[in-house]
Amino acid sequence: MKMQNEVAIVTGAASGIGQAVAVQLASEGARVVLVDLNSCEKTIGMLGDAEYLECLGDIRDPEFVKAVINRTIEKYGEIHILVNNAGTASRLDLEDMTLEMWDRDMDTNLKAAFLFTQAVIYPHMKEAGYGRIINISSVSGLNGGVVSGGDEKNGRSGPAYAASKGGIIALTKWVAKEVGKYGITCNSVAPGATATAITAGVPYDTSQQVIDRMGEPNDIANAVMYFASKDASYTTSQVLKVDGGISIG
């Protein structure tokens, strides 16, 4: 078990990619902290005998983030891994984008990642001289939005989503430069079209991909597992595209 007794915080752990990540981490011996706005009951049922802590609340709220970190330290005494996964995705185009929707995506996808990253590093990972931070971005943050079928006007992930995921990539690189001296790595996984609640009901033409299928949450979790492991001790500031080859062009 590569992560025996390590402590991993996973946001958005109730379903989709976060759920798959939490289950895989637990299968490798990690004690998982399940963070979500919604109940993680289904995820908990998939953990077997693994140790876990469930923390429910709004990841955009600095006080909730502090509470998650405090509860984790009180129960386990340390934090080794952080996976910033929770997110929202509007599909409104620029003309129809509202400030409310812009703020929702930016706060959930980018602000929350900043809050958790800051809170786990200072002082916990820094004092321990070890840490693995993995941010789930998106190929939308690299190419300005993955085109899907359906509504011609709003047929791809919107500008707020693309901007927030681009911000995640920039944050990943900035943090990696800052904390490598403390034995902490920071990397990102950039999924393409993946079968989660965010893409439910949205048609994607995967025939344009090298691998002609939708991604599955476990495809993304597999990449996260490498970055979260000690095997990745010399790997930082990377953005790994797990997208079926759509980015090849």
Name the percent of the chain lying above pLDDT 90.
79
Instruction: Tell whether 1 is covered by a domain.
Output: no
244: left (phi over 0), alpha (psi -120 to 50) or beta: left
| pLDDT at residue 145 greater than cutoff 80 | no
Radius of gyration of the chain (CA): 17
Question: What number is the average pLDDT over the span 109-135?
Answer: 98
- Cβ contact 94:159 at 8 Å: yes
- Of the residues 52, 76, 130, 161, only one is catalytic, namely 161
Please state which of the ranges 5-9, 10-14, 148-152, 206-210 shows the lowest mean pLDDT.
Answer: 148-152
Q: What is the pTM of this model?
A: 0.94
Instruction: Tell whether 2 is covered by a domain.
Output: no
| pLDDT at residue 175 greater than cutoff 70 | yes
Q: pLDDT tens for residues 13-59?
A: 999 999 999 999 999 999 999 999 999 999 999 999 999 999 999 99
Question: What number is the average pLDDT over the span 135-160?
Answer: 76
Work out how many domains the chain is built from and give that number.
1
| Mean pLDDT, rounded, of the chain | 93
Q: pLDDT at position 133, please? A: 98
Instruction: Tell whether 29 is covered by a domain.
Output: yes
Instruction: Tell whether 174 is covered by a domain.
Output: yes
Q: pLDDT at position 119, please? A: 98
Q: pLDDT tens for residues 184-231?
A: 999 999 998 887 877 767 777 778 789 989 889 999 999 999 999 999
| pLDDT at residue 90 greater than cutoff 60 | yes
**Integer Cα distance of 131 and 234 in angstroms:** 12
- Cβ contact 158:89 at 8 Å: yes
Instruction: Tell whether 91 is covered by a domain.
Output: yes
- Indicate the Cα dihedral angle 63, 68, 74, 75, nearest 10°: 160
52 tagged catalytic = no
- Please give the C-alpha separations between residue 137 and each of 55, 128, 140, 172, in angstroms, as whole numbers: 22, 26, 8, 9
Q: pLDDT at position 31, please? A: 98
Question: What number is the average pLDDT over the span 149-167?
Answer: 77
Q: Which two tokens stand for residue 196?
A: 């989660």
**Integer Cα distance of 180 and 202 in angstroms:** 39
Q: How many of the other CB atoms lie within 10 Å of CB of 65? A: 25
Q: pLDDT tens for residues 238-248?
A: 999 999 998 88
3-state secondary structure of 156: strand
Q: pLDDT at position 91, please? A: 80
**Integer Cα distance of 247 and 11 in angstroms:** 26
Q: pLDDT at position 168, please? A: 98
Q: pLDDT at position 205, please? A: 76
Residues in contact with 150: Cβ distance below 8 Å, sequence separation at least 6, in sequence order? 202, 203
Q: Give the pLDDT band of residue 158 (cuts 50, 70, 90).
A: confident
**Integer Cα distance of 4 and 6 in angstroms:** 6
**Integer Cα distance of 232 and 244 in angstroms:** 23
Instruction: Look at residues 124, 121, 117, 110 and name the one whose alpha carbon lies nearest to residue 165.
Output: 110
Q: pLDDT at position 216, please? A: 95
Instruction: Tell whether 41 is covered by a domain.
Output: yes
What residues make up the domain containing 67?
7-248
| pLDDT at residue 249 greater than cutoff 70 | no
| pLDDT at residue 178 greater than cutoff 70 | yes
Question: What number is the average pLDDT over the span 105-109?
Answer: 97
**CATH number of the domain encompassing residue 207:** 3.40.50.720
Residue 249, judged by CB atoms within 10 A of its CB (0-12, 13-18, 19+), counts as exposed
Instruction: Look at residues 226, 221, 219 and name the one whose alpha carbon lies nearest to residue 243.
Output: 219
Instruction: Tell whether 28 is covered by a domain.
Output: yes
